Amino acid sequence: MAILQIREAIREAIREEMVRDERVFLMGEEVGHYEGAYKCSQGLLDQFGPKRIIDTPITETGFAGVGIGAAMCGLRPIIEFMTFNFSAVAFDQIINNAAKIHHMTGGQFSCPIVFRGPNAAAHMLGSTHSQAFDAFYAHIPGLKVVAVATPYDAKGLLKAAIRDPNPVIFFEAELMYSVRGEVPDEEYVLEIGKADIKRAGSDVTLLTWGQAVPTSLRAAELAAEPSDGKRPLSVEVIDMLTLRPLDYAAVLASVRKTNRAVVAYHGWPHGGVGAELSDHIQRHAFDWLDAPVLRVCYEDIPMSYAENLEHLTIPQPEQILAALRQVAYV
């Protein structure tokens, strides 16, 4: 097992798939000569050349559309958004072309493409550069949506996304690119659509993804070994990993065991994946629930630049702990 950073795991996934399949190429701003704004594509231009590692002008709609058009011809584009905040200017290409081409053409064309890049807040970038796009893309039929938080998941799921015959939105996180973790030396591919139990537990189910995964694991530790004398809680932390389609089976299996659930994530509260999960749980595990499902996410406000305000807006372990205890009546 090698220890890799998430950025390295992503790079290896791209490299291996590009070696394996001539049809795969990487396109985006600064992915080539600059080697990626977050260095995810370091060395790839040298290895594969400018034909397959393509620097673009600042034209998200343009190069998203080019990727879609190339995918319709049978290529396997990986489109990097420097951050998903910039996908807002390409929204139409994703909702109206990528997500619909296969359906709209009666199955004559397909759109095997990956849109990837960092999502949600980083550190002190202000309101336009700190947004989570989960709610927008997970809402759209025709897409698959993935969010990763470990090098192992990043590599295995990105390889799956690149091989997937459908359009896949692949969320990374700017502040997590340096996170290290074990990655097998031999090749592996993970299955899109499967959640992963990151920590087993029996008292409360904690559903999470993306940047909130480490925060949730920290909260689970705090719950297990309280420093404040409160009753310890055994928390089952489930990393959803795929936001569309959601692994409802894994969710319900855990909740029917713990009878309690909290959803913790980076994103605004009104609707979105968090609401979808709690709605699904109350509908399909109604008789198992001993407490309402709670959510811990961003406050319902644009992100402020100031460090103290940003910190207060983003879910912290303490808030997740409080929610865990509330559903467990501790």
The answer to whether 77 touches 70, Cβ cutoff 8 Å, is: yes
- Out of 86, 91, 248, 288, point to the residue binding ligand TPP (CB under 6 A): 86
Catalytic residue among 60, 236, 276, 310: 60
Helices (H), 146-284: 151-163, 212-224, 248-258, 272-284
What are the CA-CA distances from residue 119 to residues 23, 80, 171, 272 (Å)?
Answer: 26, 12, 6, 15
Q: Select the binding partner of residue 66 from ligand TPP, a copy of itself, another protein, none (C-beta < 5 to 8 A, by kind).
A: another protein
Residue type (1 letter), 250: A
Closer to ligand TPP by CB, 8 or 29: give it: 29
Residue type (1 letter), 107: G
Nearest of 60, 10, 58 to residue 35 by alpha carbon: 10
Q: Select the binding partner of residue 291 from ligand TPP, a copy of itself, another protein, none (C-beta < 5 to 8 A, by kind).
A: a copy of itself
The answer to whether 226 touches 270, Cβ cutoff 8 Å, is: no
The footprint of a copy of itself (CB under 8 A) covers: 61, 85, 88-89, 91-92, 95-96, 99-100, 103-104, 126-128, 131, 135-136, 138-142, 244, 246, 268-276, 278-279, 282-284, 286, 289, 291-295, 300-302, 304
- Out of 1, 3, 19, 58, point to the residue binding ligand TPP (CB under 6 A): 58
Residue 54: CB partners within 8 Å, gap ≥ 6? Answer: 25, 26, 27, 28, 31, 32
Q: Select the binding partner of residue 135 from another protein, a copy of itself, ligand TPP, none (C-beta < 5 to 8 A, by kind).
A: a copy of itself
The answer to whether 285 touches 256, Cβ cutoff 8 Å, is: yes
Q: Shortest approach of a copy of itself to residue 262 CB, angstroms?
A: 11
C-alpha 261/C-alpha 278 separation (Å) is 8
CA angle, corner 245, sides to 258 and 116, nearest 5?
A: 115
Q: Is 129 a catalytic residue?
A: yes
Q: Is 29 in the site for ligand TPP (CB under 6 A)?
A: yes
Catalytic residue among 30, 129, 280, 284: 129
Residue whose entry in the numeric block shows the structure tokens 């591919």: 189
- Out of 39, 42, 69, 89, point to the residue binding ligand TPP (CB under 6 A): 89
Closer to a copy of itself by CB, 47 or 128: give it: 128
Q: Is 123 a catalytic residue?
A: no
**Total interface residues for ligand TPP by CB under 6 A:** 6
Residues that bind ligand TPP (CB under 6 A): 29, 58, 60, 82, 86, 89
Tell me the catalytic residues: 60, 129
